[in-house]
Structure 1
């Protein structure tokens, strides 16, 4: 019988050779990598750097909301009836959504008449009370004339009595004549009292007639709709010939808008309601500057020009809620526009930038100069020897393009903004003007 070879003992040799080969290969690759890194470390790395400067930095809070006219009125007839009149605009076209209307001028009680229902009965009531008022005023004139006449008679009776009294005391006239003149004087005084009472009665009747006339006019006003201020019609829900039965009960603005005859909005100033994240609540205050636009790109472009080109609307924080909205988990902030209202529309969705802080003459570096190590900020400073030095810094508020440095850097230093991924602390660098790519 032949001997069987031991397969385990013979197969161990190729395995050891294979492991040794891999080990030597790893050593060779590591040496090559080390040599490459050393060579890379030895040559100047191209980077782009900027000078640390001083300037102004802003802190922003961002949010979104809907712009609505601050003044809006839901106009309806207070009395039911058939609509007999709808006003026309300057082009002689019946009023419609988008038509501009005009409120009362100085000294006027009512603005532009927009619409009315059948008011014939109310007009007749007004005419009736106007006639009663005219009659009362005529009676006042008559009572006033009567009073003047009575005053003249009293003056004459007073003079006659004085003369007769003097003569009677001298025994030159009989006592009957003296008594007659005295009676005439008393009657004249009584007539004066009566005339004054008549004048007072006439004036009281005038006040009553005037009150009734005003009441009739109020009833007439309830059949008409007038523009309360200069603005634009947002909704026109009626047409001439329709029957108006009165506004329906509504609880929300949408329901009120649908049930009103007309809705007018003042487009000269808007209010924007924002829901700002609660963690920014401590920064928010009334009268802080706010910049608004439907386009975030426009806001970014305007920010580069320090908002000097009037391409976006500007406003201020009007109110800040002291509590957090339970549904949105945010703080409700209301903003009122100051300029640029023409760039917005009622109901427009807008983006808002709230300027919560501003610092001047502070040390600044671009945002892309900051590198993070273990959640701490650093920058690569270019030394006088042309090396990259990793410097720990303390940061303040952060703008859209720059960061405030409160400690670690001084104006005039050079910090690397591009090519940071190619350097470590001590790497020799070469400054270039063009952007550095990987």
Structure 2
């Protein structure tokens, strides 16, 4: 049936009078609750290396390209079964080397004396056995009155002398072993003194600072009360860049949500974090870590809670000392009712949404919200999946307004 011109005009006028709005369907999905903060990434393992003895620096190691070690050079710690890692630098150690050689000679002399005393002990033991056998024979013959008493007494004296010689030989061996222990202790002490003239890499890492050069005189590190002062006064600073610790000051009102082992996403760029969030953090654009510790108190200076984060993957995206932004995932809910953040309107400090009815009218619906993340809000009461809620054009409508759905974005 064809509409009359008057009826067609009425329908067109009705469509024109309806407010254009953009709406989306209420969905079911996953929502995350976040806590945001900023901090500085630092290698968890770092050592401030210094010589324990003063002197002229006579050696600075070179890297794989035969260039003297400098900030950024990679160094290598001890391998399995080794006590020391790569030798990095050394001060003049000639006096300590001579001490080591002197005590090595004393140790060798003590061991030679042990060998001589041991040999002497074996001879004495043989002589004692011979004296026992001789005395036994002479005693048997003397009892039969076949030899004079003087010969029997001489044999008995020889046995007593052999026993005394055994006691003396054992004492000599014990003295030689004691001298060996003393020489070994002195040698180890001299080696420890020699070690104090050298710096070794404690683990695989990268040099953050090299404050000495060959030919400089080292007088010892100055007293330091902060990491910055220790870094400036140390000969070298080495950092393990395979894992970082980030110290955050999280607002105190988020403190009840924080706990150990919560997932954390880190980057120097907030834009990279936002892009990674849109992809569900499925790529390798940002560093991932976990909450390592949460302070039970509020920092008096920052009025915030100190949280330490340890990285688990993507540490190569960070640098020691880098300022980073952190997103802490404090909660996650699945299969919940969700609407975009832009759908929420506030009336008297209470949340509402404009739902689109089957009659194409805007209906103001009171809702109860739960977790809110970057793009969407959990609705715990008031809406169900499939309903249409207005996201753009809300300021143009009131409860009961006629609306017209459009696809293009509206300029509010």
Are 1:80 and 2:54 an aligned pair? Answer: yes
CA distance in 2, matches of 1:145, 1:426: 115
Structure 2: segments with no counterpart, 5+ residues: 1-12
Are 1:273 and 2:247 an aligned pair? Answer: yes
Q: Which residue of 2 aligns with 1:199?
A: 173
Are 1:415 and 2:389 an aligned pair? Answer: yes
Indicate the SS of the match to 1:434: coil
RMSD value over aligned CA atoms? 2.0
Q: Which residue of 2 aligns with 1:329?
A: 303
Are 1:101 and 2:75 an aligned pair? Answer: yes
1:391 shift after superposition? 1.0
Aligned pair count reads 400
Q: Which residue of 2 aligns with 1:223?
A: 197
Indicate the SS of the match to 2:302: coil
Which range moves more in the overlay, 419-428 or 309-318? 419-428
Q: Deviations over 1:6-34 (max 9, x none)?
A: xxxxxxxxxxxxxxxxxxxxxxxxxxxxx
Q: Is the 8 A contact 1:41 1:427 kept in 2?
A: no
CA distance in 2, matches of 1:187, 1:54: 104
Q: Is the 8 A contact 1:116 1:223 kept in 2?
A: yes
Q: Is the 8 A contact 1:46 1:429 kept in 2?
A: yes
Q: Is the 8 A contact 1:65 1:273 kept in 2?
A: yes
Are 1:310 and 2:257 an aligned pair? Answer: no
Q: Which residue of 2 aligns with 1:387?
A: 361
Q: Is the 8 A contact 1:313 1:340 kept in 2?
A: yes
Distance change in 2, residues 1:171/1:351 (3 Å): same
1:349 shift after superposition? 0.6
1:167 shift after superposition? 4.4
Q: Which residue of 1 aligns with 2:27?
A: 53
Indicate the SS of the match to 1:396: strand
Q: Is the 8 A contact 2:57 2:213 kept in 1?
A: yes
Q: Which residue of 1 aligns with 2:101?
A: 127
CA distance in 2, matches of 1:171, 1:56: 116
Structure 1: segments with no counterpart, 5+ residues: 1-38
Q: Which residue of 1 aligns with 2:269?
A: 295
Q: Which residue of 2 aligns with 1:402?
A: 376
The 4+ residue runs of structure 1 with deviation greater than 6 A are: 39-42
CA distance in 2, matches of 1:263, 1:289: 30
Q: Which residue of 2 aligns with 1:185?
A: 159
CA distance in 2, matches of 1:40, 1:437: 22
Q: Is the 8 A contact 2:15 2:404 kept in 1?
A: no
Q: Which residue of 2 aligns with 1:365?
A: 339
Q: TM-score if structure 1 supplies the norm length?
A: 0.86
Q: Is the 8 A contact 1:114 1:224 kept in 2?
A: yes
Q: Which residue of 2 aligns with 1:341?
A: 315
CA distance in 1, matches of 2:78, 2:222: 27
**Greater radius of gyration (CA):** 1
